[in-house]
Amino acid sequence: NCGSWDTLAPYFVEQGYLFVAMDPPGCGLSQHRPACGWYNDYEECIMMMQVADKLGWDEPFIICGHSRGSNLSGLAASVFRHRIRAALLIEGSLMASGCYITHYEQVGLPTGGLPLKPLIPLDRKNRERVPRIFDSLEDAIEHNRTNPTFPKARATAEGIATRHVKKLDDGRYQFTHDTRTYGQLHPHMIYPETNMSMRSNTACPVLSINI
């Protein structure tokens, strides 16, 4: 969620930029999709452009993203190349590795580029997840900071955690993000070669930072 920008956003503002951060659907303070809905990277890229339209940004602008938001921003820079002036991508993979179903003989061949067979069990698994509960807010922040898959600096972990927790009646804290956001659909929908070909459509300068 946009809490990941709590530390960096003030720097850009000091440099004279207007910095707008958004929570994608199902994260932070944004609403969850309906029970019959799916989370899809392509639709969220369109939402980013809709936000820019609402803000009256007619001229090309700089797009920034962190983690999965980095992948979304890279996708937007490719698809909406006429609207993006430059892209800053932090701790993302550009969807280039580590996120594809490669063993199609196990999961079923794509139909029109879509390997559909694994999507239903993935969705079922995510719907059955229960958001984590912590004894204290500090425990939630520490869990976010030390996540073995996506470790974060303390300030970043605090910004993200405090934006998507709620205090329960018993005094404990629970994450509020939609568990269906785990395992977004985009990586499973196209071949890696097709994805990289699309990425090559990017025309603006791109700065990718991985720490």
pLDDT (0 to 100) of residue 68: 80
More confident residue, 117 or 17: 17
pLDDT tens-place string over residues 105-156 = 444 444 444 556 666 777 778 888 888 999 999 999 999 899 887 788 899 8
Among all chains, which residue has been given the structure tokens 């899809």? 40
Higher per-residue confidence, 199 vs 156: 156
Enter the tokens of residue 183.
């395992």
Q: For 54-58, 90-94, 104-108, 178-182, which range has the lowest pLDDT when averaged over its residues?
A: 104-108
pTM: 0.80
Unique residue bearing structure tokens 């996120």: 99
Find out whether 151 and 211 touch, Cβ atoms under 8 Å.
no
pLDDT at 134: 95
Output 13 or 151, whichever has higher pLDDT: 13
Supply the pLDDT for residue 151. 81
What is the DSSP code string of the chain?
-GGGGTTTHHHHHHTT------PPTTSTTSPPPPTT----HHHHHHHHHHHHHHTT--S-EEEEEETHHHHHHHHHHHHTTTTEEEEEEES--TT-SS-----HHHH---BTTB--TTHHHHHHHHHH----EESSHHHHHHHHHT-SSS---HHHHHHHHHHSEEE-TTS-EEE-S-GGGSS-SGGGTS-HHHHHHHHTT--S-EEEE--
Cβ neighbour number for residue 109 with a 10 Å cutoff: 9
Work out the average pLDDT over 47-73: 92
**Tokens for 171?**
């005094």
pLDDT over 70 at 58, yes or no: yes
Two tokens at 88?
A: 């800053």
Provide the β-strand partners of residue 165. Answer: 175
The whole-number pLDDT of residue 131 equals 87
Is-contact 4 159, C-beta < 8 A? yes
pLDDT at residue 87 tops 90: yes
Distance separating alpha carbons of residues 15 and 12, to the nearest angstrom: 5
Q: How many CA atoms lie within 13 A of 57 on its CB side?
A: 19
